[in-house]
Structure 1
Amino acid sequence: MYFDSKKTLLKVLSLFSVVRIPNIFLIVLAQYLTSIFILAHQDNPYDVLTDTTLLIIVFCTVGAIASGYIANNFYDQEKDLINRPQKLMIDHIVSQKTKFWVYITLNFSVVFLSSFISIRAVAFFLSYIFFIWFYSHKIKKLPLIGNLTSALLSITPFFAILLYFKNYNALIFVFGFYLFLVLAIRELLKSLINIKGDLTLNYKTVPVLYGEFYTKKVVSILISINCLVSFILIYFFELRKMNIFFIGSSVYLIFIFFLLRKAKDQRDFNLIQNFLKLLIFIGVLSIVLLDPSLVLNKISF
C-alpha cells in the first residue's frame, strides 16, 4: 500500500514536471492581474475574480499550455537526453502512453469548455493548440523564427482575455511587446544553453548556425529595444508607481547585458536565464502598482 502510494505520488510529480506547473501558475496570475488592473480596472476586483467566463478562459489557457508542454516534451526527448538527462529521468516516470492520453484529454477539455463561451472561443483555442503543436514539431528547429514564435505563443493567452473584455487599451499592446522581447531574449539564451543537443540533432538554431558571438549580438539588440520600450512606457503612459519597475528593469537589463558579454559557458548562460525568470516574475507582480488602491480599498465581499 505504501509503495503504491509512493509510486502514484512520483507519477503525479513527474507529470507536474512535464507540464511545468510553476510556469502555468505564473501565466494564470498574470491573466488575472492584467484583467483586474488593466482590462477591467473600472470593475470591482471581486466581480472579476468570480467572473465565470474569465474562469473558463483561464482553464482553457491552462489546458492548452499544459498539453503544449507535453507535446514539447515528446519531441524534445533526444535533445533532453543530452542537455537535461536528470530532468528526463523524472519526466520518464510517467509513460509515453499516459502522457498521450493526458494530452488528448486536456485538448478535448479545452474545446469542450470553450464551447460554453462561443464558437469564436473554440476557434481561438483550437488554433492555439494547433500552433503550439506545430511549433514543437517544426518551427522550433528554425533559426530565430523558432525563438520568436515561442515568445509569441507565450503571450497569446493575454489576447484571449483582451478579446473577452474588448478593452483594446494601447497599454496592453506595449506591455505585450515588452514581455515578448524579454521572452525572446530568454529563448535565445536557452538556445545557447542547449547548443550541445541542438548541434547533435541538427537543429538549425541561431547559435548552431551563426555561433555564440552572433547570438549575443542579437540578444544585445533585443535588450536595447526593450530599454527603449521601457522609456516609451514611462514617458507616454500613466503607470503610476509601476514606473519604478520599468526604470529598475532597464537598469537590470543593462546589468544582464554586461553579464552576457562576459558569459563563456552553460553555467553563465543558465545564471542569466534565471535572472530573466526573476524579472518576469517581478514584472507580473508589479502590475499591482498600476493601482494599489484596488487591493487596499476596493475589494468588498
Structure 2
Amino acid sequence: MNILKLIRYQNLLLIVLLQLVFRYGFLKYQNIPLTLTDWQYGLLVLATVLIAAAGYIINDIMDQETDLTNKPNQVIIGKGISEATAYNWYFGLNIAGMLIGYYLADFVNKTSFFGIFIISSALLYLYANSLKQMAVIGNMVVALILALSVIVIGMFDIIPLFPYVGLEQSAKMKVILSILLDYAVFAFIINFIREIVKDAQDIEGDNLEGMRTLPVIIGITKTTKVVFTIGLLAVLLLLWYINDNLMENQLYPTVVYSLITVVGPMVFFLIKIWNAKEKKDFQLLSKVLKYIIFFGIMSILVLTYNIKLNG
C-alpha cells in the first residue's frame, strides 16, 4: 500500500484514463488508420505511467525534509519505505518504461521518438533535484509532462502512418492531431496554474528549505494576483476556442458541456483565488483545478458523440 501512495496512484489513474479515453473514445471513431494494436497501445500507456511513477518517487526522495513540514502525515520515505528501497523502485520503473518506449519507437520505425521518454525522465529528475526550486520553471516542467502524455498519443498512433495514406486521409489526420494538440495546450495551462497554487499551499516548508518558488519570492498576495491573471487569460482563451471552433461548427452539446464543467469552475476559481490566503484555500483551489482537468479530458467523449450526431 505504501508503494501505491508513493507513486501517487490516483494521479497515474488520471493519466491512464486520459490516454484510454483519447484512443477508445475519440481516435477509434474517426475512421482513420492507427499504428498501434490494442496491446501495443496498452504498452504505450504503461510506459507513460512507469516513467511518471518514477518521477513521483524521485520527487519524494529529494523532498523528504520539505514534506516533513508541509505534509508530515503523508511522508512515506523513511517511515513506510526506506530511501534505498525507493531508489530501487525509481531505477526499476524508469528502466522498464525506457525499454518499452524503445520497443514502440522501433516498431513504428521512428527511433527518434524514443527521445520523448528520455526527455520526460530527465525533466522529472531535474525537476526533483533542482528545477522545482526555480520560480515558474519548475511549474512549467510538471505542466509539460502532462501535456506530453497527450502529445505522445499522436506521435505513436498517427504520425508514423502519414507516408502511407492518401491526401484526403492525411488532411483528416492533421485535423485530429491539431485537436490532440489543443487538449495538450489546455492540460499544460491548467496544470501550470495548479502547480503554482500548490506552491502557495506549501510556502511554509518551501521557505524553510530555501526553495525559490514564486510564492516564496513575491509573497502570497502577489502570487494570487499573478495566478488570477493567468487564469483570466485561460478563461478568455477557452471562450475564444469555444466560439471559434465549437460554435462555428454547431457543436452545441459540447459547447454546453464545456461552459458548465470547465468555464464555470474556472470562473469560480478566479473568484476564490483573488482573496485566497490560508493553506485550506489553496487546497480547495488545487482540487477545483484537478476536477477541471478531469472534465476537460472527458469533453473529448462529448465532442466525439457530437461529431457523430452532426455527421
Q: TM-score range by the shorter chain?
A: 0.7 to 0.9
Q: Name 1:156's counterpart in structure 2.
A: 148
1:226 to 234, 237, 240: 234
Secondary structure at 2:103's aligned position in 1?
coil
Q: Does 1:68 align with 2:81?
A: no
Contact 1:24 1:66 in 2 (8 A): yes
| Residue in 2 that maps onto 1:28 | 16
Match of 1:244 among 256, 259, 265: 256
- 8 Å contact from structure 1 (residues 151, 187) kept in 2: yes
TM-score by length of 1: 0.86
Cross-structure match for 1:213: 221
| Cα distance change, pair 49–291 in 1 and its aligned pair in 2 (3 A) | farther
State yes or no: 1:185 paired with 2:193. yes
Deviation at 1:236, TM superposition (A): 2.1
Task: Give 1:254 deviation, angstroms.
Answer: 1.5
For residues 205 and 293 of structure 1, the distance between their equivalents in structure 2, rounded to whole angstroms, comes to 42
Contact 1:240–1:290 (CA<8 Å) still a contact in 2?
Answer: no
Amino acid of the structure 2 residue aligned with 1:98:
T
What are the superposed Cα offsets for residues 91-122 of structure 1, whole Å, 9 maximum, x if unpaired?
Answer: 73011111111111111111221222222343
Q: 2:136 aligns with which of 144, 152, 164?
A: 144
Match of residue 302 from structure 2: 289
1:293 Cα deviation after fit: 7.5
Q: Distance in 2 between matches of 1:245 and 1:170?
A: 21
Residues 32 and 49, structure 1, Cα contact 8 Å, conserved in 2:
no
* Matches of 2:25 and 2:138, distance apart in 1: 32
Which of 263, 266, 270 is equivalent to 1:253?
Answer: 266
- Partner amino acid, structure 2, of 1:27: I
Amino acid at match of 1:30: L
Checking the alignment, whether the CA contact within 8 Å between 1:263 and 1:269 is kept in structure 2 is yes
Instruction: Give the direction of change, closer, same or farther, for the CA distance of 1:91–1:261 in structure 2 (3 Å limit).
Output: farther
Q: What are the ranges of 5 or more consecutive residues in structure 2 without an aligned counterpart?
A: 160-172
> What CA RMSD, in Å, does the superposition of the two structures yield over aligned residues?
2.4
Q: 1:121 to 1:55 in 2, by over 3 A?
A: farther
Paired residues of 1:15 and 1:91 also in contact (CA < 8 A): no
- Taking the aligned partners of 1:250 and 1:141, their CA distance within structure 2 comes to 31
TM-score (norm 2): 0.84
For residue 29 of structure 2, give the secondary structure of its aligned residue in structure 1.
Answer: coil
Amino acid across the alignment from 1:205: T
Does 2:99 match 1:105? no
Q: Give the unaligned 5+ runs of structure 1.
A: 1-12, 297-301
% same residue? 27
Moved more, 113-122 or 72-81: 113-122
Please tell me the residue identity of whatever aligns with 2:283: N
Task: Please give the secondary structure, in 2, of the residue aligned with 1:263.
Answer: coil
CA distance in 1, matches of 2:265, 2:179: 22
- In the alignment, which residue of structure 1 is the partner of 2:167? none
CA distance in 2, matches of 1:211, 1:131: 27
Alpha-carbon distance change, 294 to 173 in structure 1, aligned in 2, over 3 angstroms = closer
How many residues of Structure 1 are paired with residues of Structure 2 in the alignment? 283
Cα distance between partner residues in 1 of 2:233 and 2:25: 25
- Cα distance in 1 for residues equivalent to 2:30 and 2:270: 39
| Letter of the 1:144 counterpart | V
CA deviation after TM superposition for structure 1 residue 264, in Å: 2.0
Alpha-carbon shift at residue 253 of structure 1 (Å): 1.2
Deviation for aligned residue 1:48 = 9.4
